[in-house]
Structures are given as structure tokens and as C-alpha cells.
């Protein structure tokens, strides 16, 4: 049995302030026995006007968020999944919404760049979201071995695209992480049902860490970070406020669900190769 944790934050534009809050919550999660801790999307900078400068710093020698993740992982002897941070693939390039996985020694063991960017209109006080203005598209599905099971990586808007999660299951995923900054409007409508659907159809644990409340930019996010089991039951939920959600992953529960309902053997349609975003070429998995 493994213990995992999701952090729920109300991040703002100041990196130092966000990292101070994250450090406090990570310490709390470690005290509760978490072996793997998931931070929300944009944990280190939310609504920052200087996204290009922040991304350049993460690529250069300063690397404040990347150093923070490494130091915290080493200090507490845990794996950290940095929900997302702006990080280019080359010096001066357009940033990706990048998720880094850091092991207990502080080593970056995986990188996932968000595949689906949030270019939508929402009936809230922000109105229009065009993530592709600031970020480039990722082009790889990433699934890795971890102390809590084989870990599938995804970010926020990805959760609306079930083919990604089928690809993660096909690559052996047992636990799928979903760091997010789901808006209050879309969260109230779709957050739980989407997460439960992804858990049910993949027969995986789903650990989701969301931003919460009203941010300095005026944006409002939904919270309700949660842990969902492979049968689709919400085992733990943190509806509101900054905090830590912890829960246990029971291997026998996942094995039992898959044995009683072997959906991968019953599938009649092969998983088709998905087209890459425009301008992208396929690369090998890490």
C-alpha cells in the first residue's frame, strides 16, 4: 500500500510566494507519510505577466522552480510531480506547459509537455482563454515507473480527451495524475465526472490536484482536489481552501477491478495512432 498526496493552492504571480506556500504544504504531506506528492498546474506562477522571463529563468542557471522541486524531494525523501511550469525545449524557444517528475534524490526522471491547450470561451469573469498564445503544444505521451506504481502523466484540459488516457493505460499506467487550474464554472459542471470517467475507463487510480479560490488576477478556480479509485469512487476530496489531500493506493483493489472486468481483453477497436499537433514530429518516449 502506498500513500500519495495532492496539494491544493491559490497561486499568484509571485514565484517566491508560491514556493513558500508549496514548501509548507509539501512538508505537511511528507509528515502524513506521502511517498509521492502532486502539485497543481501553474503552482509556481499563476497569472504572471512575465511568462517568457519565468520560462527563460527555468531554462537558464537560476531555475528557481526546478531547484525548488529537487531540494524539496531530497529534503523529504519523496517523489514530487511538479504540476506544470513554463519551460522551453531549447534556449529562447516558446515555453511548454511542462510537468516534471523528480525522484527522492532530486533527479528529474520524466518530463511531460501538455498536449491539449485550453483555447476556449467560458462564461466567467475572464471570458476567453487562449493558452496557445503563451505555450506551444507537446507531442509525447509519457508513462513511467514510480514507487507508487506505473505513473501516467497529464495536465488539466487533457482530461477531456480520453484517447490520451487509453494510451497511458496501454503503456501500463496504474496511477494517473491530473494537476489542474480548472475554472470555477467548468469545474462545477465537469470536473468530477471527467475524472471519474477517466478512472473507470482505464481502471486506474486518478490523483488530481487543482488550484482553488480567487486569484490575484481575478480568475476563480474550482478546487475539489481528489483521489479516485479504479472503480470510479471518490475516496478523498478537498472541496475548498489551500491544503493537503492524502490517500492510500491499495494494489489489491486495482488488481481486483481489472480481474473481475478485464476490459482490455474485451476491446474490439484497436487504439488508433493520434495525429500530432501541427508542426510536430514524433519522438521516442523517455
**Domains of the chain and any CATH numbers:** 2-266 (3.60.110.10)
Please confirm, yes or no, whether 114 is among the known catalytic residues.
yes
Q: Which of 35, 42, 114, 204 is labelled catalytic? A: 114
Question: For the chain, what is the radius of gyration of the CA atoms?
Answer: 18
Please confirm, yes or no, whether 41 is among the known catalytic residues.
yes
Q: Which of 41, 58, 174, 242 is labelled catalytic? A: 41
Q: What's the gap between Cα 18 and its chain centre?
A: 17
Instruction: Tell me the pLDDT of the chain (286 aa) as tens digits.
Output: 999 999 999 999 999 999 999 999 999 999 999 999 999 999 999 987 788 899 999 998 999 999 999 999 999 999 999 999 999 998 888 999 999 999 999 999 999 999 999 888 887 777 778 898 989 999 999 999 999 999 999 999 999 999 999 999 999 999 999 999 999 999 999 999 999 999 999 999 999 999 999 999 889 999 999 999 999 999 999 999 999 999 999 999 999 999 999 999 998 887 654 545 444 433 332 2
Q: Which of 42, 98, 143, 156 is labelled catalytic? A: 156
Q: How far apart, in whole angstroms, are the C-alpha atoms of residue 250 and residue 153?
A: 20
Burial annotation 63-93 (CB, 10 A radius, 16+ → b, else e): ebbbebbbebbbebebbbbbbbbbbbeeeee
Please confirm, yes or no, whether 237 is among the known catalytic residues.
no
Predicted TM-score (pTM) above 0.75: yes
Nearest CA to 80 out of 129, 49, 39 is that of 39
Q: Give the model's pLDDT for residue 93.
A: 86
Amino acid at each position: 500500500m502506498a500513500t500519495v498526496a495532492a496539494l491544493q493552492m491559490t497561486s499568484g504571480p509571485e514565484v517566491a510566494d508560491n514556493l513558500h506556500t508549496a514548501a509548507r504544504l509539501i512538508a505537511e504531506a511528507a509528515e502524513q507519510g506521502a511517498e509521492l506528492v502532486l502539485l497543481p498546474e501553474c503552482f509556481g506562477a499563476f497569472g504572471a505577466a512575465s511568462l517568457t522571463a519565468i520560462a527563460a529563468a527555468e531554462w537558464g542557471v537560476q531555475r528557481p522552480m526546478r531547484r525548488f522541486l529537487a531540494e524539496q524531494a531530497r529534503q523529504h525523501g519523496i517523489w514530487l510531480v511538479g504540476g506544470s511550469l513554463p519551460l522551453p525545449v531549447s534556449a529562447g524557444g516558446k515555453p511548454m506547459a511542462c510537468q516534471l517528475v523528480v525522484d527522492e534524490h532530486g533527479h528529474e526522471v520524466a518530463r511531460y509537455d501538455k498536449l491539449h491547450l485550453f483555447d476556449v470561451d467560458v462564461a466567467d469573469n475572464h471570458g476567453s482563454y487562449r493558452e496557445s498564445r503563451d505555450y506551444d503544444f507537446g507531442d509525447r505521451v509519457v508513462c513511467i515507473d514510480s514507487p507508487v506504481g506505473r505513473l501516467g502523466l497529464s495536465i488539466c484540459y487533457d482530461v477531456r480527451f480520453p484517447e490520451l488516457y487509453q494510451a497511458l493505460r496501454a503503456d501500463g499506467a496504474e496511477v494517473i495524475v491530473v494537476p489542474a487550474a480548472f475554472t470555477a464554472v467548468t469545474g462545477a459542471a465537469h470536473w468530477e465526472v471527467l475524472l471519474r470517467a477517466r478512472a473507470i475507463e482505464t481502471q486506474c487510480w486518478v490523483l488530481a490536484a487543482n488550484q482553488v479560490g480567487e486569484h490575484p488576477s481575478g480568475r476563480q478556480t474550482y478546487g475539489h482536489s481528489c483521489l479516485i479509485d479504479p472503480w470510479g469512487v471518490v475516496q478523498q476530496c478537498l472541496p475548498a481552501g489551500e491544503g493537503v489531500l492524502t490517500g492510500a493506493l491499495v494494489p489489491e483493489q486495482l488488481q481486483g477491478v481489472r480481474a473481475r472486468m478485464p476490459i482490455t481483453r474485451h476491446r474490439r477497436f484497436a487504439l488508433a495512432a493520434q495525429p500530432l499537433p501541427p508542426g510536430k514530429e514524433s519522438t521516442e518516449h523517455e
